[in-house]
Amino acid sequence: MTDTVTVSFTADTRNVALARIVAAAVAARADFPLDRLEDLRLAVDEAVTQVIACASSEVTCTFTEGDHAIEVAVHALTTVTEPVSVTSFGWTVLTALVDSASSSIADGRLTISLRASSGLVDV
């Protein structure tokens, strides 16, 4: 089953907590073990913080739940021309918490995409 949850908010660091709460709720609904739920929550925190730092408009987070995995896209309009640095400490932390992460800019929109699996498999 695939389900999508989207939340948008002003580009203000006070709203990072909202994204963390939604990430945890989606992961809990997807039956992620507590350690993987916390990893996703922290990764979303870092991704949203990095997007807010470059945003020129509201930030949108889309959480798509699939089979034993959640894909997250965090995006906002921006005036920067380069994706988020993949050599920063923040990026290193982020990539340690999820299965995959990428940063891109297209049509003036910065997007950080994450994929986290639950670690559970059907038997």
| CB contact at 8 A, 86 and 103 | yes
Statement: residue 111 has pLDDT above 80: yes
9 alpha-carbon distance from chain centroid = 14
pLDDT digits (tens, 9 = 90+) for 57-107: 899 999 999 888 999 999 999 999 988 888 999 999 999 999 999 999 999
pTM value is 0.93
Q: Is 112 helix (H, G, I), strand (E, B) or coil?
A: strand
Structural domains for the chain: 3-117 (3.30.565.10)
Grade residue 119 by pLDDT with cuts at 50, 70 and 90: confident
Residue 13 near residue 49, CB atoms below 8 Å: yes
The string of pLDDT tens digits covering residues 11-30 is: 999 999 999 999 999 999 99
pLDDT > 60? residue 1: no
* pLDDT score recorded for residue 15: 96
Rounded CA separation 77/89 (Å): 24
